Amino acid sequence: MHYEDILRKIEQENRDGSLIDIYRYNGLIEAIQFFANRLTMEQITDAAYDFVNELLTVEKSAMYLLEAEKYVLKKQRGIQPKPGIEVIPVNQSLKEFALFVGNVISGTESLRQYFDPSLLDALEAKVMLPLLLEEKLYGFFLLSGRVNAAFDEKDIMVCQTLMNLFNKSMENCNRLEMLQISNRELDEKIFNLFAINQSAKAMLTEYSLSNLYKLAVDVFSELTLSAQTGFFLYDNASEKYVLKAYRDVFSSDTIKKGSIKLKKIINTHPGRQIIDLGKDSDRDYFAAVFPDSLEIMEEIKASYVVLIFGDKNKLLGFVTLGKTVSGNPYKSSTFELVESLASYTCIALSNAMLLKKVEEQRNLLQEKLSRLITLNKLSKNINSAPDSNSLLEIALETLKVSFGVEKAFIALYDDSSDLLTIMQSTIDSLNGLNIPMNDTLNPLRKGSMVFESVSENIGTVVGDEIANIIGSSSGILAIPMTMERYETVFVGAIFILKLEEGIISNEENILVFQTIANHIAPLISGIRDLEKQKSLYIPNIPKIFLSALEEEINKCREYDFDLEVIRIKSNDSSPFSENQISRILGEKLKHVYPVSYDRTEIILTNDFEEKLNIIKEALSDKSVDITRFRYKQDFSELQEYINL
């Protein structure tokens, strides 16, 4: 070959090389423009494979992408199908490639550090172009060489440039996807916050427990998209967790609420609020807390259990969630929502329970107040009774009308005959009959009540004749009417046989009956005493007091002595009972005059302050009004005092 021919050949090769470079530069510009677009990961890898083959004019190539811990052959060019090339297992070298190498690998010897030699021979691979994402080897291209030559330094440089372009595009795509996911999660959280706010308002303003159960199920079902939702709450009566509400969006069949009950054996841990029944550990934990619960959970199609803890980590109840309506798994944001809903449900339940308790207490107090008002009215009516028979009639009618007594009678005791005589009864045929005092009734003498719960044994208490007249009863309760003086004075007894509703031995009922008996006893005793004293001389205490006061006024006028009169008005006295104030003070002072049943006058001639303190101390537990009158200040004459 002549020298000129050699020069022409060199010039032609230079021109061909320049054309190749221009072609590649144009291809790179086109690749940059293409990969600058918003692409999916699949679009990026497919386009990257095409650009590599076009720009490098590759004879044989293969594209592998990572799937489930192995690299799978996705595309190939110029390679005959052979066994062993479809899948490349992930080895330690490939795991660490992105972190420690992260660049184009050329040369068979270098590639053998990462791939099996038989694979390299089958693919005739000389160059590896990696696809890197988040410090991981996402995939790679294995290239044999150009169609008409092996790869040179320029080709490797183009590979590196393309690798950087592909990886940047994949990184942008991945970050965009992550941003979109974050945006969706943020939108979900905003919606969840709104939903929680609205749900919390609804639950916190619902004070009816039955409505709250249904509302809680609806809220959990709607916001979590649970197909089957159940609500269990602790029942104090049965000491078990009872199904209060249930919803199945796919079935109209209803599970009978209250029929499903679970008893807790061991304490729950507040840190395990959401229990996944699909996990063996969670399933075993729930079964340990609630034995025999797994069959019930299957019956109501529960997949998750959300525990609701109250004050001091006490388990108030729990909500069960089935599979989602769409069949998709629950998102993590859903469980965050569930935890917040559980907290608000706990607050709503606590509020509703407290309000229910307050309402029950209010009704109970209202009932007690009504009874007290009735007792007060009874006291007023009894105090106005002219005789003992009218008094007992009023008491019995009050027991019937106001306290639901269906069968009862009142008997008075006659100590001369040692008999109880029935004075008033709801059964007319009992009036006037006598009940002999016996061993069963003897405790009444000491102020102790007598109770017999078996109706067949009433005859042992009141006698067979009276028991036969009484007929059906709820037993018998005898409340003594006694007074505590120097010794217990037995006046009579109230016998309760049957109530319209409730039991006669109820503590509150007994208290009411005892109050009435205690109020009647002194009145009956007083009336009896008045009747006994009608024929006896009754000293004119007011006249005696005025005479004594006139004498003391004259002494003061003559000898210039000091004089005071203390007037005591008793607010609890009754015209049918003796003046208790004069009895108390008569033991401590002289010149004490009970001028009426509710008024006592005391004449003091010395030690005024000391004696006034004695009076106040002696009457500290009494409802009295004490008035102090001084001679020459409040009165100077007897008539002036009378006018006070």
Give the per-residue SS3 of 259-281.
CCEECCCCCCCCCCCEEECCCHH
277-281 own/partner pairs: CB under 8 Å, 24+ apart: 277/302, 277/303, 277/304, 277/305, 278/303
Instruction: Indicate the length of the chain as a whole number.
Output: 644
What pLDDT score was predicted for residue 254? 63
* pLDDT band of 73, cuts 50, 70, 90: very high
Dist. CA 602–CA 284, nearest whole Å: 85
* Residue with token string 């006058």: 601
Are 280 and 311 part of one and the same domain? yes
Asked, for residue 185, whether it belongs to a domain, the answer is no
- Measured from the Cβ of residue 326, the count of other Cβ atoms closer than 10 Å reads 8
Examine the pLDDT at 30 and tell me if it is beyond 60: yes
Are 30 and 149 part of one and the same domain? yes
What pLDDT score was predicted for residue 531? 67
Q: Give kind and range of the element (H or E) at residue 316.
A: strand 315-321
Examine the pLDDT at 578 and tell me if it is beyond 80: no
- Final residue of a domain: which of 340, 355, 370? 355
Are 548 and 514 part of one and the same domain? no
Examine the pLDDT at 396 and tell me if it is beyond 60: yes
Examine the pLDDT at 99 and tell me if it is beyond 80: yes
**What's the average model confidence in pLDDT over 5-34?**
63
Our measurement of the distance from residue 576's CA atom to the centroid of its chain's CA atoms, rounded to an integer in Å, reads 55
Name the residue among 597, 579, 622, 574 with its Cα closest to residue 379. 574
Asked, for residue 372, whether it belongs to a domain, the answer is no
Q: Model pTM?
A: 0.48
Asked, for residue 24, whether it belongs to a domain, the answer is yes
Examine the pLDDT at 10 and tell me if it is beyond 50: no
Dist. CA 507–CA 376, nearest whole Å: 20
Asked, for residue 91, whether it belongs to a domain, the answer is yes
One-letter amino acid identity for 62?
A
Are 610 and 474 part of one and the same domain? no
Share of the chain above pLDDT 70, in %: 91
Rg (CA), the chain: 52
What pLDDT score was predicted for residue 71? 92
Are 547 and 519 part of one and the same domain? no
Give residue 282's domain range: 206-355
Are 527 and 545 part of one and the same domain? no
Are 232 and 327 part of one and the same domain? yes
- Final residue of a domain: which of 533, 561, 587? 533
Examine the pLDDT at 129 and tell me if it is beyond 90: yes
pLDDT per residue as tens digits for the range 258-313: 556 677 767 777 778 888 988 888 888 888 888 878 888 888 888 998 888 877 88
pLDDT per residue as tens digits for the range 438-464: 988 999 988 888 998 888 888 888 888
Asked, for residue 326, whether it belongs to a domain, the answer is yes
Region of poorest pLDDT, from 382-386, 443-447, 508-512, 592-596: 382-386
Q: Helices in 384-471 by DSSP H: which ranges?
A: 388-403, 459-462, 464-470
Examine the pLDDT at 16 and tell me if it is beyond 70: no
Asked, for residue 181, whether it belongs to a domain, the answer is no
Asked, for residue 362, whether it belongs to a domain, the answer is no
Q: What mean pLDDT, rounded, does the chain reach?
A: 83
Are 56 and 155 part of one and the same domain? yes
Asked, for residue 373, whether it belongs to a domain, the answer is no
* pLDDT band of 14, cuts 50, 70, 90: very low
What pLDDT score was predicted for residue 63? 93
Examine the pLDDT at 3 and tell me if it is beyond 70: no
What is the number of structural domains in the chain? Answer: 4
Are 10 and 147 part of one and the same domain? yes
Are 143 and 62 part of one and the same domain? yes
What pLDDT score was predicted for residue 70? 92
**What's the average model confidence in pLDDT over 417-427?**
89
Burial of 516 (0-12, 13-18, 19+ CB in 10 A): buried
What pLDDT score was predicted for residue 19? 60
Are 592 and 632 part of one and the same domain? yes
Are 172 and 125 part of one and the same domain? yes
Examine the pLDDT at 130 and tell me if it is beyond 90: yes
pLDDT per residue as tens digits for the range 170-203: 899 889 888 988 888 888 788 878 877 887 788 8
Q: Any bridge partners for residue 422, and if so which?
A: 411
Share of the chain above pLDDT 90, in %: 9
Examine the pLDDT at 560 and tell me if it is beyond 70: yes
What pLDDT score was predicted for residue 255? 63
CATH code assigned at 64: 3.30.450.40
